[in-house]
Amino acid sequence: MPRRTSPVTLSIPPPDELEQVLAALRSWQGEEHPVPLHPGDLGWHHLRGAEATAAHLRLWSRDSRPAALGMLDGPDLVRLALDPDLLEDEGLARTLAEHLTAPEHGVLPAGRASVEARSAPALRRALHTRSWVEGDAWVPLRRELTAEVGQASLHVASLTEDDLEDYAAVHRAAFDSTGVTAQRLRTMLEGPAQREHRAASLLGRDESGTAVAVITAWSAGAGRPGLIEPLGVHPSHRGRGHGRAMCLAAAAWLRGEGASSADVCTPRTLTGAVATYLSAGFRALGDARDLERPSG
| Sign of the alpha-carbon torsion through 34, 37, 43, 45 | positive
The answer to whether residues 168 and 191 belong to one domain is yes
- Rounded Cα distance between 194 and 50, Å, is 13
The answer to whether residues 132 and 147 belong to one domain is no
On the question of pLDDT at 112 being above 90, the answer is yes
Residue 108 belongs to domain with CATH number: 3.40.630.30
The answer to whether residues 198 and 181 belong to one domain is yes
Look at residue 22 and give its three-state secondary structure: helix
- Which residues span the domain enclosing 192? 143-288
Mean pLDDT lowest among 1-5, 36-40, 73-77, 178-182: 1-5
In this prediction, residues 72-91 reach a mean pLDDT of 95
Residue type at position 136: D
Q: Which residues contact 187 (CB under 8 A, 6 or more apart)?
A: 46, 47, 48, 49
Average pLDDT, the chain: 94
The answer to whether residues 129 and 172 belong to one domain is no
Domains identified in the chain, total number: 2
- Rounded Cα distance between 18 and 232, Å, is 27
Residue 216 and residue 229 in contact, taking contact as beta carbons nearer than 8 Å: yes
pTM of the model: 0.94
Q: How confident is the model at residue 1 (pLDDT cuts 50, 70, 90)?
A: very low
In this prediction, residues 136-149 reach a mean pLDDT of 94
The answer to whether residues 82 and 190 belong to one domain is no
Residue 4 pLDDT: 60
Q: What is the pLDDT of residues 221-264, one digit of tens each?
A: 999 999 999 999 999 999 999 999 999 999 999 999 999 999 99
**101 is a domain residue:** yes
The answer to whether residues 62 and 104 belong to one domain is yes
